[in-house]
Amino acid sequence: MTAKAFVIGHPISHSLSPLIHNYWMQSLGIDARYDAIDVAPEDLPAFFDRLRRGEFVGGNVTVPHKEAAFALCDELDPACNELGAVNTLLVKNGKVWGTNTDDLGFQRNLDAGAPGWSDYLREPILLGAGGAARGVLHALRGHRAGPIHIVNRTREKAEQLARENFDVTAHDFADFASIAPRTNLLINTTSVGMNGSSFEDLDLSLLPDDTIVTDIVYRPLETPLLATARARGLRTVDGLGMLLHQARPAFDHWFRRMPAVTPELRSRLEAALEH
Ligand code: ATR
């Protein structure tokens, strides 16, 4: 019988995940299919009941369900407890198990795009203080990053993260000029950049020459932030790789096969992004 996997979100029609997983299923000869399913927030508990009945081997969870799905799981990977959010579900014996592969995706994307990035991290700067920032913060934890600066439009949200994490300091955008010269990693975790929007008053000329700039936004592939960083001669890593690298371990959870991020797969995604 053809195994079924899914990604749930709301909205979900633009998701690239079906392209990724169906490509891997086909290239590895696995009899399975992966579909995007729109689930409204109020329908999430009923969807979990459907999962427990065994229709799917597992699936992915995206915006806005990551926190609610965490709460609905029957069992959790202890590694994602601190995060309070899941992006991957596995169904076994009528139970839903949840984990989070986003932080691995973030790390592997930088490993591939900026080798050596974690050898000597200097005061990383995260733009944003939402769910994605929490994930990146978690990913940086294992790397002895030193003080981590969170810059957020709403300063109070950055301060909340600083209260929860001893190594985090909170800022608003006005502080960027004073912390920029001390970093070597700038990460955008906000939605700014989507569809070409850009930050006002973010002076990238203040960043040291060895700074790596990365963005979780991948629509467009080169956000205005990355374009400015590249023009300034800095190393940049786009967000599409993070999507690909979080997908690999998820696929492995369902099918016990670790797929590869190939140039062909990446170019298929790039082509899909252009439409
Ligand atoms: P996610 O879970 O994807 O991180 P979120 O929790 O809604 O989404 O967080 C979105 C982040 O983008 C927030 O840090 C938000 O800043 P605020 O906390 O001030 O809302 C940030 N953001 C969204 N639009 C922005 C804009 N135009 N300028 C600056 N920051 C913005």
The CA 128 to ligand 1 mean position distance, Å, reads 6
The predicted structure's pLDDT at residue 275: 80
Q: What is the pLDDT of residues 71-94, one digit of tens each?
A: 999 999 999 998 999 999 999 999
The CA 257 to ligand 1 mean position distance, Å, reads 35
Q: Which atom of ligand 1 is nearest to the CA of 197?
A: 27
The CA 33 to ligand 1 mean position distance, Å, reads 33
DSSP 35: E
Q: Region 93-111: what's the mean pLDDT?
A: 96
For ligand 1, whether the C-beta of 62 sits within 6 Å is: no
The CA 154 to ligand 1 mean position distance, Å, reads 8
Catalytic residue among 66, 92, 95, 157: 66
The predicted structure's pLDDT at residue 187: 98
For ligand 1, whether the C-beta of 84 sits within 6 Å is: no
Q: Which atom of ligand 1 is nearest to the CA of 128?
A: 14
Residue 152: pLDDT band with limits 50, 70, 90: very high
Report how far residue 253's alpha carbon sits from residue 238's, in angstroms, rounded to the nearest whole number: 25
Say what the alpha-carbon torsion angle 14, 28, 30, 254 is, to the nearest 10 degrees. Answer: -70
Residue 52, pLDDT > 80, answer yes
The CA 156 to ligand 1 mean position distance, Å, reads 12
Residue 144, pLDDT > 80, answer no
The CA 253 to ligand 1 mean position distance, Å, reads 31
Closest residue to atom 30 of ligand 1, CA basis? 153
Report how far residue 13's alpha carbon sits from residue 123's, in angstroms, rounded to the nearest whole number: 37
Residue 47, pLDDT > 80, answer yes
Q: Which atom of ligand 1 is nearest to the CA of 189?
A: 4
Closest residue to atom 5 of ligand 1, CA basis? 130
Q: Is 157 a catalytic residue?
A: no
Residues 54-78 as b/e (b if ≥16 CB within 10 A, e otherwise) read eebbbbbbbeebbeebbebbeebbe
Report how far residue 205's alpha carbon sits from residue 92's, in angstroms, rounded to the nearest whole number: 52
Q: Which atom of ligand 1 is nearest to the CA of 158?
A: 18
Calculate the alpha carbon distances from 49 to 1, 12, 39, 56 in Å: 21, 20, 13, 11
Residue 29, pLDDT > 80, answer yes
- Write down the mean pLDDT value for the chain: 96
Ligand 1 pocket test, candidate residues 190, 192, 199, most atoms within 8 A of CB: 190
Q: Region 182-187: what's the mean pLDDT?
A: 97
Plot region of 146 (φ>0 → left; ψ -120 to 50 → alpha; else → beta): left
Calculate the alpha carbon distances from 192 to 198, 199, 262 in Å: 6, 7, 28
Tell me the whole-structure pTM to 2 decimals: 0.94
Give the dihedral sign, CA 95/88/254/77: negative
Residue 189: pLDDT band with limits 50, 70, 90: very high
Residue 141: pLDDT band with limits 50, 70, 90: confident
Residue 120, pLDDT > 90, answer no
Report how far residue 275's alpha carbon sits from residue 135's, in angstroms, rounded to the nearest whole number: 29
For ligand 1, whether the C-beta of 192 sits within 6 Å is: yes
Would you state the structure tokens that stand for residue 207, as one six-digit string? 């960043």
Q: Which atom of ligand 1 is nearest to the CA of 129?
A: 14
Residue 68: pLDDT band with limits 50, 70, 90: very high
For ligand 1, whether the C-beta of 191 sits within 6 Å is: yes
The predicted structure's pLDDT at residue 196: 87
